[in-house]
C-alpha cells in the first residue's frame, strides 16, 4: 500500500559544498486507484427531451480497469468543477477506450446545461474508475431498481450479468414520470434473450405521472411501492433470498431500502452508490477515527478536494476554513499529525471518500470543526 511519505523527490546538486533543493515535489504523487485521463467527446445523442447519451473516448488508446456499476467524473475547460456520472454500459459492451454516460438535464445544473449544445469533438478530462457498486457473487434473485439517469449503472450491471450468463433471476424496475421519459426500453428488454437459460430476466418500467386516459398498460405509481405490492407481497420475490441494487435519486434509494428493510432484507443485501450535487453538504473528516489507511486519498477525483493540512485558519460564515495550508514535502513537516481536511470549494460531492473509508471517519454529518491530534486550527 502506498503511504503519504511515498513521494518522488527531485535530484539534488552540491554547488559550493552546499546541498540545494531544486524544486518542490508534487504533493499528490501516489499510487491512486483513480486515473485522470485526457479524452474527447465522440458522441452526443438525445435520448429524451431532457436526457443525453454522451460517449467519451480516452486519448492514445488508453483504457480504465473498471467493472460494471462504477462511475467517473467529467471535466471540461468551460466549467470550474468536474461532475460524477455512472458508466452506462458494461465494459464488454463498449468499444476499446470508450465510455458512455446517461446525463439528465437538471435546472441550474452547469454540466447538463453545457450539453444543451452538441459537444462532439470537445476535449474533456475523464477521471475514474470510482465506486464499489457491483454485482455480488451470490445466486440469489436480483432486484434492480433505478430512477432517472440512474438507469445507467443498473443497465451496466445487467449487461455484464447477461454476458457472464449468471444463473439467477433478475427483476429490473425503472421509475419514470411518463412514457416520454422512457429510453432504451427495447435494448434492455432484449437482454432477456441473452440471459442464462432457465432463469428469468424481466424489465418493468413504472410511471408515476402518466395520464390516466393514456394507452399505457404497464406499472403505475412510485416504483418502490409497485415493487412492494406486486412482487414482494405476492411472493414473486422473497425477502430472504434476494439482493437489491439501487441507482437514482437519494429519495428513491431511501424509499426502496425502507421497503426492503421492513420486509426483513438485511443491509448487507442492498447495494448502491448515492449521487449528490452541489446543493448537498460536503463530507467532513473526523480525524480521531482516521487510521491513516489512505483509502480516501486513493479515490479522490481532483487534486485538492482532500488536503493534508499543516495549518487551518480564517473561518468563513458557514463554519469552513478559507485558509488551508497543506503539507508540502521538503518545505513543511511531513508529520501532518493525522489532519486531513476536505476543501468544500473543491469537493464535487461524489462521496467517493465516504464510501471508501473503512472506519466511517468521513461523513456529511460530522462536526465541521476538525478533530486533530494537535492544535493546527487558528480561530
The domain ranges of the chain are 36-130, 141-272, 276-379
pTM comes to 0.78
Phi-psi region of 195 (alpha: psi -120 to 50; beta: other; left: phi over 0): beta
Q: Tell me if 36-130 shares its fold with 141-272.
A: no
Q: Residue 63 in contact with residue 41, Cβ under 8 Å?
A: no
Buried b (16+ CB within 10 A) or exposed e, 21-56: eeeeeebeebebbbbbbebbbbebeebbebbbbbbb
Question: Which set of grid coordinates corresponds to residue 283?
Answer: 463530507
Average pLDDT for residues 36-58, to the nearest whole number?
95
Please say if the pLDDT value at position 62 is more than 70.
Answer: yes
Query: Phi/psi of residue 51, each to 5°?
Result: -130, 130
pLDDT value, residue 81: 85
Rounded distance between C-alpha atoms, residue 126 and residue 301, angstroms: 9
Using 50, 70 and 90 to split pLDDT, how confident is the model at 188? Answer: very high
Q: What is the pLDDT of residue 322?
A: 67
For residue 179, the SS3 value is helix
Q: What pLDDT is stored for residue 13 in this prediction?
A: 36
**Residue 302: its pLDDT value, please?**
79
User: Helix, strand, coil proportions of the chain in percent (round to 5)?
Assistant: 20, 30, 50
pLDDT-wise least confident of 54-63, 214-223, 348-357:
348-357
Confidence of residue 107 (pLDDT cuts 50, 70, 90): confident
Q: Assess contact for 69 and 156: CB atoms under 8 A.
A: yes
| In the predicted structure, residue 24 carries a pLDDT above the cut 50 | no
Read off the pLDDT of residues 302-327 as tens digits, 9 standing for 90 and up. Answer: 778 888 887 776 676 666 666 666 66
Nearest CA to 227 out of 175, 191, 265 is that of: 175
The answer to whether the beta carbons of residues 83 and 73 sit under 8 Å apart is yes
Q: How many CB atoms lie within 10 A of CB 304?
A: 15
**77 vs 91: CA distance, rounded Å:** 27
Q: What is the topology classification, in CATH, of domain 36-130?
A: Elongation Factor Tu (Ef-tu); domain 3 (2.40.30)
3-state SS assignment for residue 352: helix
Confidence of residue 244 (pLDDT cuts 50, 70, 90): very high
In the CATH scheme, what architecture does the domain 141-272 have? 3-Layer(aba) Sandwich (3.40)
Structure confidence at residue 314 (pLDDT): 65
**Helices assigned H by DSSP within the chain:** 110-114, 151-164, 185-189, 191-194, 223-227, 250-263, 352-356
Residue range 103-117: average pLDDT?
A: 88
- Would the pLDDT of 31 be above 60? no
pLDDT confidence bin for 169, thresholds 50/70/90: very high
The predicted model gives 50-70 an average pLDDT of 93
Q: What is the largest CA-CA distance in the chain?
A: 90
pLDDT surpassing 60 at residue 76:
yes
3 state DSSP class of 157: helix
Q: Is the pLDDT at 21 greater than 90, yes or no?
A: no
Residue 106: predicted pLDDT: 84
- pLDDT, one tens digit per residue, over 318-373 is 666 666 666 665 555 555 555 788 888 888 888 888 888 888 999 988 877 766 55
Residue that is written with C-alpha cell 455484464 in the block: 160
* End-to-end Cα, the chain, rounded Å: 36
Per CATH, domain 276-379 is 3.30.70.100: no
Grid coordinates standing for 57?
473516448
Q: What is the mean pLDDT of the chain?
A: 83
Amino acid at each position: 500500500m502506498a503511504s503519504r511519505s511515498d513521494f518522488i523527490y527531485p535530484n539534488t546538486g552540491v554547488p559550493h559544498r552546499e546541498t540545494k533543493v531544486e524544486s518542490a515535489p508534487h504533493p499528490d504523487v501516489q499510487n491512486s486507484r483513480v486515473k485522470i485521463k485526457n479524452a474527447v467527446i465522440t458522441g452526443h445523442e438525445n435520448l429524451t427531451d431532457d436526457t443525453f447519451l454522451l460517449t467519451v473516448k480516452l486519448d492514445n488508446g488508453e483504457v480504465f480497469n473498471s467493472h460494471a456499476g462504477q462511475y467517473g467524473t467529467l471535466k471540461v475547460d468551460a466549467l470550474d468543477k468536474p461532475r460524477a456520472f455512472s458508466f452506462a454500459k458494461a465494459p464488454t459492451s463498449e468499444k476499446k477506450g470508450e465510455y458512455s454516460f446517461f446525463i439528465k438535464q437538471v435546472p441550474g445544473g452547469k454540466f447538463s446545461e453545457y450539453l444543451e449544445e452538441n459537444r462532439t469533438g470537445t476535449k474533456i478530462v475523464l477521471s475514474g474508475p470510482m465506486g464499489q457498486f457491483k454485482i455480488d457473487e451470490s445466486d440469489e434473485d436480483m432486484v434492480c431498481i433505478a430512477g432517472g439517469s440512474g438507469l445507467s449503472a443498473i443497465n451496466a450491471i445487467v449487461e455484464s450479468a447477461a454476458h457472464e450468463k449468471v444463473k439467477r433471476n433478475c427483476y429490473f424496475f425503472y421509475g419514470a414520470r411518463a412514457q416520454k421519459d422512457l429510453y432504451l426500453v427495447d435494448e434492455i428488454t432484449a437482454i432477456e434473450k441473452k440471459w442464462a437459460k432457465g432463469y428469468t430476466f424481466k424489465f418493468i418500467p413504472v410511471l408515476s405521472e402518466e395520464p390516466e386516459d393514456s394507452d399505457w398498460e404497464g406499472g403505475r405509481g412510485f416504483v418502490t411501492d409497485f415493487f412492494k405490492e406486486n412482487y414482494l407481497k405476492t411472493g414473486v420475490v422473497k425477502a430472504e433470498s434476494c439482493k437489491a441494487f439501487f441507482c437514482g435519486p437519494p429519495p428513491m434509494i431511501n424509499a426502496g431500502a425502507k421497503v426492503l428493510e421492513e420486509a426483513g432484507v438485511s443491509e448487507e443485501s442492498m447495494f448502491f452508490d448515492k449521487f449528490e450535487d452541489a446543493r448537498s453538504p460536503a463530507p467532513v473528516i473526523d480525524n480521531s477515527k482516521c487510521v491513516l489507511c489512505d483509502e480516501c486519498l486513493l479515490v479522490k477525483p481532483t487534486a485538492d478536494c482532500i488536503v493534508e493540512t499543516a495549518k487551518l485558519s480564517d473561518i468563513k460564515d458557514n463554519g469552513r476554513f478559507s485558509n488551508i495550508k497543506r503539507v508540502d514535502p521538503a518545505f513543511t513537516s511531513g508529520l501532518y499529525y493525522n489532519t486531513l481536511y476536505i476543501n468544500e470549494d473543491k469537493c464535487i460531492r461524489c462521496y467517493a471518500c465516504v464510501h471508501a473509508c473503512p472506519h466511517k471517519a468521513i461523513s456529511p454529518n460530522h462536526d465541521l470543526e476538525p478533530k486533530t491530534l494537535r492544535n493546527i486550527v487558528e480561530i
